[in-house]
Amino acid sequence: MAIHTLAVLVENSPGVLARVASLFSRRGYNIDSLAVGPTENPKVSRMTIVLNLEGHALDQVSAQLFKLVNVIGISEMKDSDSLKREILLVKVANNAANKEVASKHKAVISDETTTTISIEAVGQSFEIEALLADLKPNEIRELVQSGLVALERGASTLADRTLSTMGTANESDPNSSTADYQN
């Protein structure tokens, strides 16, 4: 299987998203989705990257990624060992059929006008895909997806495994408002 999900802890420093994206681009690794946000540690951000690795070894990708100075830790999030979720927001026509689709998939209608409803769904990839499949394509006015986020099952954390070696280089809190993804 060529699809892999990596959880990547990075220093919350300016340019870090560009470094990761530049690496993937120049080495020809395909990103299916990339989600990034703050973590429990203000110095650290977490990326969840879904990769389509046709012709590249995962170990090689991880090793190249780990060469980036701002990358602190990497872990593969396997289906069997992790929680994986996506968010879907989709705007469709306001009619009974679409409301029934939302209800069938236990999705929430978060916004409603006389002509449209906005459906909000959180779930695993296959659940999101199933919901989308039930909506008639010509009725979808607009949709947005978050990309996958993943968390390891059980008590162990990626941060515990990798941050124990984290040094104290950034005594002053890096200015997180300048990180790319928050701009």
Partner 1 sequence: MSKMNGAQSLINALEAAGVDVMFGIPGGAILPAYDPIFDSKIRHILVRHEQGAGHAATGYAQATGRVGVCIATSGPGATNLVTPLADAQMDSVPIVAITGQVPSAAIGTDAFQEADIRGVTMPVTKHNYLITDPADIPRAIAEAFYIASTGRPGAVLVDIAKDALQKETTFNYPKNVSLAGYNPVVEPKQSAVLDAAALIAQSKKPVLYVGGGVIKANAAKELMQLAEITGVPVVTTLMARGAFPDSHKQHLGMPGMHGTVAAVTALQKADLLITLGARFDDRVTGKLSTFAPKAKIIHADIDPAEIGKNRHADVALVGDLKNILRALNPATKAALAKSAPDLTPWLNEVYGWRSKFPLGYDKPSDGSVSPQNVIERIGKISGPDTIFTAGVGQHQMWASQFIGYEKPRTWLNSGGLGTMGYAVPAAMGAKVGAPDTTVWAIDGDGCFQMTNQELVTCAINNIPIKVAVINNESLGMVRQWQTLFYNQRYSNTDLHSKRIPDFKLLAEAMGCVGLRCERPEDVDKTIEAAMEINDRPVVVDFNVHRDAMVWPMVAAGTSNDDITVARSMAPVWDSQEL
Q: Which residues of 147-178 are buried (b: 16+ CB within 10 A; e: fewer)?
A: bbbbebeeeeebbeebbeebeeeeeeeeeeee
* Residue 17 is a binding residue for partner 1 (CB under 8 A): no
CB 85 within 8 A of CB 123: yes
* Residue 58 is a binding residue for partner 1 (CB under 8 A): no
Residue from 84, 163, 176, 181 that binds partner 1 (CB under 8 A)? Answer: 163
Residue from 4, 5, 7, 11 that binds partner 1 (CB under 8 A)? Answer: 11
Among the residue ranges 99-107, 115-123, 124-132, 167-175, the one whose residues contact partner 1 (CB under 8 A)? 167-175
Among the residue ranges 93-101, 103-111, 119-127, 166-174, the one whose residues contact partner 1 (CB under 8 A)? 166-174
* Residue 60 is a binding residue for partner 1 (CB under 8 A): yes
| Residue 177: CB minimum distance to partner 1, A | 13
Q: Which residues of 82-115 are buried (b: 16+ CB within 10 A; e: fewer)?
A: bebbbbbbbbbeeeeebeebbeebebeeeeeeee
Residues 71-90 that bind partner 1 (CB under 8 A): 71-72
Report which of 97, 181, 107 is spatially closest to residue 143, judged by C-alpha positions: 107
* Residue 155 is a binding residue for partner 1 (CB under 8 A): no
DSSP 8-state symbol, 159: H
Alpha-helix residue ranges (DSSP H) falling in the chain: 16-27, 58-66, 96-104, 125-134, 158-163
Residue from 2, 18, 97, 133 that binds partner 1 (CB under 8 A)? Answer: 18
Tell me whether residue 144 or residue 169 sits nearer to partner 1 (CB atom).
Answer: 169
Summarize as ranges the residues that interact with partner 1 (CB under 8 A).
10-11, 14-15, 18-19, 22-23, 26, 43, 57, 59-60, 63-64, 66-72, 163, 165-170, 172
